[in-house]
């Protein structure tokens, strides 16, 4: 679910800077240095990925939904420091392709090619010698089918978070996100922690993302990965603006292999659950709720190439 994923970004912003250094921030798993008890060890500087989610059957209608996503994420510059503050500008593109099979005639939604252009901006505040870290995050975005673009296609999300360093191996934080602030706004709080019980194992819960990761060798990592997926877009429906909300969670086993230096390839597979698709007006009124809504579980596959640190 995009909403909880965005909250995760703010919590990661807060917890990352406890390491006492500036570096790339993102919501994905990344370069390993678990032994250093450094929260920056799961951030990327650059990433391209592909994701497929298959076999989600409708609970209240016939037919099923398959979803495919491609992503490009990159920092726009190295972190910018001024005093106790650090600014981190980034860019993210995500293409989502929804494909319906065996749906009845006059089904209210059809195949969609959806696009999100995002400019996440992170601001960190940390004072030398203090265990406290505060972070803020703002993300303007264009999320659309590109059939017709108006003000409903633009979204603004914001979040703030704080974290406390209890020890070199335990970081605990929390945050709150404000979503779609120009439209059907909502506010969601959430917890987060990073725990390193040994030099080879890292466990973290950040918003709707849970990862337990084992550093098997210098070049191999294996883990359990549970996180939200999906997105929210404005689409054109017979010359009327509609908000399409696709919610999904995924849980699976992931493996990572170093290619060279700080470049890694990651692959994973598992199942998806709590899948749901809804159509509503920009003001939040639900449409076609008798046939849309809940979807059965599906299966997913994931592949990414990323650069872990600058």
Q: What is the pLDDT of residue 222?
A: 98
User: Which one, of 170, 264, 252, 171, lies nearest residue 217 by Cα?
Assistant: 264
Please state, in angstroms and rounded to a whole number, the distance separating the CA atoms of residues 34 and 218: 11
Q: What is the pLDDT of residue 121?
A: 94
User: Which one, of 95, 96, 99, lies nearest residue 66 by Cα?
Assistant: 99
Q: Which residues of the chain have pLDDT under 70?
A: 1-43, 310
Q: What is the pLDDT of residue 11?
A: 52
Q: What is the pLDDT of residue 36?
A: 42
User: Which one, of 90, 86, 82, 80, lies nearest residue 26 by Cα?
Assistant: 90
User: Which one, of 116, 126, 115, 142, lies nearest residue 88 by Cα?
Assistant: 126
CB 132 within 8 A of CB 164: yes
222: Cα separation from own chain's centroid: 20
Q: What is the pLDDT of residue 43?
A: 64
CB 272 within 8 A of CB 248: yes
For 38-86, how does the pLDDT look when each residue is reduced to its tens digit (9 = 90+)? 445 556 889 999 999 999 999 999 999 999 999 999 999 888 888 889 8
Q: Quick check: helix, strand or coil at residue 233? A: strand
> Could you tell me the fold of the domain covering 2-307?
Outer membrane phospholipase (ompla); Chain C (2.40.230)
104 DSSP assignment: P
**H runs (alpha helix) in the chain:** 2-16
Q: What is the pLDDT of residue 211?
A: 95
In this prediction the pTM is: 0.85
103 DSSP assignment: P
Encoded tokens for 90 = 């980034």
Q: What is the pLDDT of residue 112?
A: 95
CB 41 within 8 A of CB 23: no
Q: Which residue has the tokens 């909250």?
A: 7
Q: What is the pLDDT of residue 42?
A: 57
């Amino acid at each position: 679910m995009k909403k909880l994923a965005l909250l995760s970004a703010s919590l990661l912003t807060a917890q990352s800077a406890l390491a006492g250094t500036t570096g790339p921030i993102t919501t994905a798993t990344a370069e390993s240095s678990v032994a250093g008890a450094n929260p920056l060890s799961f951030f990327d500087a650059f990433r391209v990925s592909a994701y497929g989610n298959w076999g989600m059957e409708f609970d209240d209608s016939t037919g099923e939904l398959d979803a495919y996503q491609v992503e490009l994420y990159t920092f726009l510059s190295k972190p910018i420091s001024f005093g106790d503050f650090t600014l981190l500008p980034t860019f993210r593109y995500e293409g989502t392709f929804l494909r319906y099979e065996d749906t009845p005639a006059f089904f209210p939604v059809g195949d969609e090619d959806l696009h999100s252009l995002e400019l996440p901006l992170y601001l960190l505040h940390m004072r030398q010698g203090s265990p406290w870290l505060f972070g803020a995050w703002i993300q303007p975005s264009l999320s659309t089918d590109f059939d017709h673009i108006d003000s409903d296609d633009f979204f603004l999300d914001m979040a703030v978070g704080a974290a406390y360093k209890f020890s070199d191996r335990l970081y605990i934080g929390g945050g709150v996100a404000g979503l779609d602030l120009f439209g059907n706004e909502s506010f969601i709080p959430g917890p987060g922690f990073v725990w390193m019980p040994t030099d080879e194992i890292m466990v973290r819960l950040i918003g709707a993302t849970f990862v337990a990761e084992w550093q098997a060798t210098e070049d191999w990592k294996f883990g359990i990965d549970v996180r939200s997926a999906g997105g929210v877009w404005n689409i054109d429906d017979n010359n009327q603006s509609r908000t399409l909300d696709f919610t999904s969670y995924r849980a699976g086993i992931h493996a990572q292999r170093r290619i060279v230096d700080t470049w890694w390839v990651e692959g994973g597979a598992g199942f998806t659950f709590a899948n749901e698709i809804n159509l509503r007006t920009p003001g939040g009124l639900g449409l076609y709720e008798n046939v849309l809504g809940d979807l059965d579980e599906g299966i997913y596959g994931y592949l990414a190439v990323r650069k872990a640190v600058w």
